[in-house]
Structure 1
Amino acid sequence: MYEISKRIFDLCISLVALTLLIPLFIAIALIIKLDSQGPVLFRQKRIGKGGKIFEIYKFRTMHIYTPDISTEKLSNLKAYVTRSGKWLRKTSLDELPQLMNILCGEMSFVGPRPALYNQHELIRMREEMGVNALVPGLTGFAQVKGRDFISDFEKVAFDAYYARNRDFQFDLKVLFWTVRCVLKAEGVRVDF
């Protein structure tokens, strides 16, 4: 019953949010286009439920020549992030296009953040802990517990805890904690 109600919640809220946020999407798209060359949306291969690869959507915050690796592995993040990207990343507005992934069922509002296709060690640890069996989320328990400032081991531990204890009430708590973290810009690397 939980999985069905979660999917209905995801479907309804993502549809309403996408409709209401059209003006914001247009404004952000214009800002990105005026700020740097390249597409407005950034697509990247991520690991979904059961290890299936899908393309995640984000507003582009980095220059088009940026290597396709996780940001913590970039030696000089400042050289890659665009001017508008700094603001989009700090406010987490770059994540809004993932509402399309949620609408399509590739993601949920709450679940483990999808790993990059080339984060092999993280994928392996998640597989061992049963985390890859879940639909990935726009936000998750690991996100509200440290996001960019915790190790992959800690992320997997938080995600495994979520996997064992998930229910609709826990999801609502994570969503509430996410709003608080976004408003305070907690857990986000802003050293660019």
Structure 2
Amino acid sequence: MLKRWEDLPNYIRINEVRPYYDVLCNRRGSLVAKRVFDMVVSSILLMLLSPVFLVLSMAIKLDSQGPVFYRQERYTQYGRVFKIHKFRSMCDGADKMGSLVTVGNDARVTRVGKVVRKCRLDEIAQLIDVFKGDMTFVGVRPEVKKYVDEYEKEWLATFLLPAGVTNLACIYFKDEAELLNDVENVDKVYMEKILQIKMKWNLKGIKEFSFVGDIKLMFMTFFAVCGKEYREE
């Protein structure tokens, strides 16, 4: 789960990242438990949710032209690029029609996509990525190259662990799309304001990482999806 410091990519092996690496080095037991949990739980959920996968796939194909899954290059552990799985909720080729960030009332969202996004069903396809090891249940959300290229040095510490399905930033910014409504330059505002705040929570999550903490955060995510509001501590 964690390479030796000497084996990390050169651009990650910097002084700003070292404190986070040292924290994780002291929690290797939790890292092992985290990966075992990811494999076991994701495999069970994939089997249990297979009927949901089938229904969603049929609904998406009947509603609009295009593939069932939206595949986009994102960054995960050690800066490795992978193609994320998400049930497609927008028209085919939507990422070429506007911002890479989705806003509320986005015209690119399909009829089925509105329901899928409201219930967060597009995210369950990432169980495939968790099982493969490209992602983990709790970790920093994977970003696209456009935003990764603008990362501050300290933010590169987020590449010490696999990208995640949920984290503290997801809970506090669960209505991110609505926050970007009526913004003229969505990408600029996301990068200069929202991502700055989200990274504060992302780095906090690495500093305080523990397997028990991951389980607690998964329960928080469930309750947040069900409507519970969490305020920043």
What is the TM-score normalised by the length of structure 2? 0.73
Query: How much does 1:170 deviate?
Result: 1.1
Between 95-104 and 111-120, report the one with greater CA deviation: 111-120
Q: Does 1:70 align with 2:113?
A: no
Kindly indicate whether the alpha-carbon contact (under 8 Å) linking 1:91 and 1:185 is maintained by their aligned counterparts in 2: no
Kindly indicate whether the alpha-carbon contact (under 8 Å) linking 2:42 and 2:131 is maintained by their aligned counterparts in 1: yes
Deviations 1:23-62 (A, max 9, x none): 0100001110111001111100001111111110000000
Letter of the 2:101 counterpart: T
Corresponding position of 2:163: 136
Corresponding position of 2:145: 117
Q: Does 1:88 align with 2:116?
A: yes
Letter of the 1:105 counterpart: G
List runs of 5+ in structure 2 lacking aligned partners.
Answer: 1-28, 180-192
Kindly indicate whether the alpha-carbon contact (under 8 Å) linking 1:56 and 1:101 is maintained by their aligned counterparts in 2: yes
Q: Which has the larger radius of gyration?
A: 2
Kindly indicate whether the alpha-carbon contact (under 8 Å) linking 1:95 and 1:138 is maintained by their aligned counterparts in 2: yes
Q: Separation in 2 of the partners of 1:141 and 1:49?
A: 18
Corresponding position of 1:190: none
Task: Kindly report which structure 2 residues correspond to 1:1-192, keeping only aligned pairs within 5 A, or say none.
Answer: 1-68=29-96, 69-72=99-102, 78-120=106-148, 124-125=151-152, 127-129=153-155, 130-147=157-174, 148=176, 149=179, 151-184=194-227
List runs of 5+ in structure 1 lacking aligned partners.
Answer: 188-192
Corresponding pairs, count:
183
CA RMSD of aligned residues (A): 2.0
Secondary structure of 1:45 counterpart? strand
Rate the CA distance shift 1:179–1:46 in 2: closer, same or farther, 3 A: same
Secondary structure of 1:97 counterpart? helix
Q: Separation in 1 of the partners of 2:214 and 2:77?
A: 17
Identity of aligned residues (%): 34
Secondary structure of 2:95 counterpart? coil
Deviations 1:52-93 (A, max 9, x none): 111100000000131254224x6x853200001011111110
Query: How much does 1:119 deviate?
Result: 1.4
Kindly indicate whether the alpha-carbon contact (under 8 Å) linking 1:141 and 1:159 is maintained by their aligned counterparts in 2: yes
Letter of the 2:100 counterpart: S
Q: Separation in 2 of the partners of 1:46 and 1:82?
A: 23
Secondary structure of 1:57 counterpart? strand
What is the TM-score normalised by the length of structure 1? 0.88
Q: Separation in 2 of the partners of 1:49 and 1:83?
A: 34
Rate the CA distance shift 1:77–1:47 in 2: closer, same or farther, 3 A: farther
Corresponding position of 2:21: none
Q: Which consecutive segments of 4 or more residues in structure 1 shift more than 6 A?
A: none
Q: Separation in 2 of the partners of 1:184 and 1:53?
A: 33
Kindly indicate whether the alpha-carbon contact (under 8 Å) linking 1:98 and 1:138 is maintained by their aligned counterparts in 2: yes
